[in-house]
Structure 1
Amino acid sequence: MQLHDYRLAETIKDNKTITTGQSTIQPDEQETQTELPTELLEVILSQLTLRDNVRASAVCKSWLAVAISVRMADKPPWLMFFPKFGDLYEFYDPSQRKTYWLELPELHNARICYAKDGWLLLYKPRTQRVFFFCPYTRELIDLPSLELTYQIVAFSASPKSPNCILFTVKHVSPTVVAVSTCHPGATEWTTVNYQNRLPFVSSIWNKLVFCNGLFYCLSLTGWLGVYNPEKSTWSVNSVPPPKCPENFFVKNWWKGKFMAEHNGDIFVIYTCSAVNPVIYKLDQANKVWVEMESLGGMTLFANFLSSYARTDLLGAMRNNVYFSKVRFYGKRCVSYSLDNGRYYPRKQCYDWGEQDPFESVWIEPPEDLSTFL
């Protein structure tokens, strides 16, 4: 996009009148003529280079405000789909509504476990192989093998970080769990059994996040287990489970919940068929889940295995929950607006019991698009 320079033939400061070669325009009139809908202006200015963004900010006060907000805008994660057959993987950008493709034969017969910081954690059931993989650089990091049955796995940071820890938990009995941990470079997993004061059942429908140095695991029934890797301690939090929607206890009800963290806060999203999603935030001080009517401009990206939270996105994406499902032949991601209290596209609420939990995952966007087909 090129911004045209308008030369001013004369400027009279005393009466604040601006004279062009053809007509005289008052400042208020000039600003009115350049007005565009804010959301449209955000989309246009977000496509500019930094240099052109700065130039655009000089047009008027409203353009300045939008240019600065877009200049600092965060990027949403992309949705990566795992094919049932073949090695061609689809990547969907929800902000631009564009789809990209990559051939990744390294992932053949692999099952996605988790995603964070642009890295995938994968598992090959036949060989019990566990490994990290970055789809953008094709870098692969092997880990000690581990048998994963019905438990899920998460990691704390990029495998390039010295703080990277992998964590998984499975119940041995209603009152005993086995916690397994590992780190890149280790030769084996470390497994320790812990006694529970409260019942905790593990399954592939549990949710895991790493927040403030702790792993939080939301169980099938809504109890929150907490593991401290530094102290090697495990406990089931006494916070009562989040209140479920009225129609939540139907077939496959446990599949419609998601968990994310942001800046030390933990959020849980409950969905159920045609019922509007219910979002809770953990109040750790008062040991209670608080229902949220607004996200305060934050955007949540919900997925079975790993969910994300973002701030400073474009206006149209704020205060929304984006789900890992794309409709209309890849043209639009299913989302729910808290401002409008409805799904987009309309009547596109989804029965999560019908979706394969391993078919997609949110992942950090690439810095360079040249690797895509």
Structure 2
Amino acid sequence: MEEYSSDEDDWEHRFEEKEIGKVEEEDPKEEDEGNKRDWAGLPIELLSEMLTHLQLPQTRFSFHKVCKYWDSIQDPKHHSPLIFPTLQSQWLLHKDTYHGTVCKFFHPFYPDRFAIDDVPDLNKAVLMHSNNGWLLIARRSLRNNPKIDLFWDWQNSLFFINPFTKERVDLPEADFLGDWKSATFVSDPTSPDCKVFGVVSFTDTFVRFETIRRGEAEWVRHSFEDIPTIFQSNCHPVFHNQKLYCLGRHGEMGVFEFDPDDEESKKWTIHEVLGSPPEEETFESYLVECEGELLAVFLSFMGEKISVVRLDEERMEWMKVESLGDFMVFISLPTSFARKKMVDGMENKIYFPRLSGDYTVFYCLATKTYRTFGNKFCQKDLYETREQLNCCWTEPTSRTYTSPQQLHWFPQHE
């Protein structure tokens, strides 16, 4: 069969132009009809074996376009080189309902789908952030609190779970009446270097950060009054160059500096960043660290306009990004990150927490269109795609032994 380019501009359109019916090959030494070989007559076992060696979605698409018989051969589940969940890769984790206890995983490149059933800690939980295969979870519950005038109040708890091993690390309770707006953490929660940063939302003129390090029994509060919180994007903050960066909805940047050993050293600054997109054109915004620099992705409603920019920290100016090179960017409200390509064809794209059919949607900076690797979806916007709520991008790591002592937050238990 003819070989086709793996470029997403070429491979699917070539097959739209013509329908390949039956491919025949003649033995040059024999002219009679009896020596013709009909590819549609190959045994199903042989065709299935062929599919196991086709790794790229483009080549599998070509396989199924040969004829109706070939199209009826189901893709074997072991076609991809991924060994889930032990091999590190990027997956979209989706918790389908508020009361659900099932994790569903979608791979952006391979048509693999996985589910981990019965993770009780996910019940009534909200995904806040993911790092090193761990999830930071928020849960709000009603409790009896005699310390305040109200007999009942809401308990806002944060804890870590590893959905692959179902291990859990509990954090000390945070005592406040508001809600966790966003959060992030640094290092594995079983590591002594783990730090958690939470943003609490109260009113439009007040912002507060809650921070804690592994081994600490109480959260450290950093409050700032008369500072508008309306600038805050719903995306998670990013810890960069020992500072916490919070992206504004319209391109502003809030920078939180503090010395964990000196409460008086805290400093919160809002920067008006040059080159920000117009306010009326920004519906969603995401912040990502890539190769030591901060990138932002701004979208208008349903992605009709999209802007990818890099922060010039010296001038506090957004610079337009034309290409990501070999990098991929994965965005979601709880977790966004950039990685170098793992497979040819995945680079220079932004992957969304959205599906078209059963396939993950991405934006290609080369073609300036939204596409998938598995079907004919190709648009200038995100209409007719399904947003996955309460989801985040995650990178499962190889299973390693975790001692019971490591699952305790306090060092005296280690």
Could you list the per-position Cα deviations for residues 331-358 of structure 1 after superposition, in whole angstroms to 9, with x for gaps in the alignment? x111110011111121373369x957x5
2:327 alignment counterpart: 298
Q: 1:236 aligns with which of 269, 277, 289?
A: 269
Match of 2:132 among 117, 128, 131: 117
TM (normalized to structure 2)? 0.64
Aligned to 1:191: 221
* Aligned counterpart, 1:336: 363
Q: State how far apart, in whole Å, the 2-side matches of 1:349 and 1:280 are.
A: 19
Runs (4+) of structure 1 exceeding 6 A deviation are 33-36
Matching residue of 1:89: 103
Unaligned runs of 5+ residues in structure 1 are 1-32, 48-73, 369-373
Partners in 2 of 1:246 and 1:236 — Cα distance?
Answer: 21
What corresponds to 1:318 in structure 2?
Answer: 347
The CA distance in 2 between the partners of 1:202 and 1:114, in whole Å, is: 21
Cα deviation digits, residues 56-114 of structure 1 (max 9, x gap): xxxxxxxxxxxxxxxxxx96410000121432220112121210010112211111111
Counterparts of 1:249-264 in structure 2 under 5 Å?
Answer: 253=283, 256-264=284-292
Cα distance in 1 for partners of 2:214, 2:383 equals: 37
When residues 157 and 45 of structure 1 are mapped into structure 2, their CA distance, relative to the original with a 3 A threshold, is farther
The one-character-per-residue Cα deviations of 1:182-237 (angstroms, maximum 9, x if unpaired) are 123322211122367x7443667244112232221113343211223436533224
How far apart are residue 173 of structure 1 and its match?
6.3
Query: 1:153 maps to what in 2?
Result: 183
Distance in 2, Cα, partners of 1:235 & 1:222: 17
Partner of 1:67: none
User: Cα RMSD (Å) of the superposition?
Assistant: 3.3
Name whichever of 124-133 and 236-245 sits farther off.
Answer: 236-245
**Aligned equivalents of 2:195 and 2:368: distance in 1?**
39
Say whether residues 1:360 and 2:391 are aligned partners.
Answer: yes
Identify which range, 233-242 or 156-165, moves more after superposition: 233-242
Distance 1:204 1:186, change over 3 A: farther
The 1:206–1:93 alpha-carbon spacing in structure 2 relative to 1, beyond 3 Å, is closer
The 8 Å contact of residues 232 and 246 in structure 2, kept in 1 or not, is answered as: no
Matches within 5 A, 1:125-274: 125-126=140-141, 127-146=155-174, 147=176, 148-149=178-179, 151-170=181-200, 176-194=206-224, 199-201=228-230, 205-230=234-259, 232-240=265-273, 242-244=275-277, 248=281, 253=283, 256-272=284-300, 273-274=302-303
Please report how far the alpha carbon of residue 320 of structure 1 lies from its aligned counterpart in structure 2 after TM superposition. Answer: 0.4
SS at 2:271's partner residue?
Answer: coil
Tell me if structure 2 keeps the 8 A contact 1:217–1:226: yes
Partners of 2:242 and 2:105 lie apart in 1 by 30
1:171 and 1:201 in contact (8 A); partners too: no
Q: TM-score, normalised by structure 1?
A: 0.70
**Offset, 1:241:** 6.0
Q: Which moved more, 1:154-163 or 1:94-103?
A: 154-163
Using the alignment, how far apart are the partners of 2:124 and 2:243 within structure 1? 31
Give the letter for the 2:368 counterpart. G
What is the CA-CA distance between 1:265 and the residue it aligns to?
Answer: 0.9
- Listed as ranges, the matches of 1:11-30 within 5 Å are none
Decide whether aligned partners of structure 1 residues 100 and 325 sit closer, same or farther in structure 2, where only a CA change above 3 A counts.
same
Q: Return the offset for 1:150.
A: 5.5
Structure 1 310/206 Cα, relative in aligned 2: closer, same or farther at 3 Å? closer
* Contact 2:100-2:122 at 8 Å conserved across structures: no
Match of 2:40 in 1: none
CA distance in 2, matches of 1:261, 1:294: 15
Cα pair 2:369 2:381 within 8 Å, conserved: no
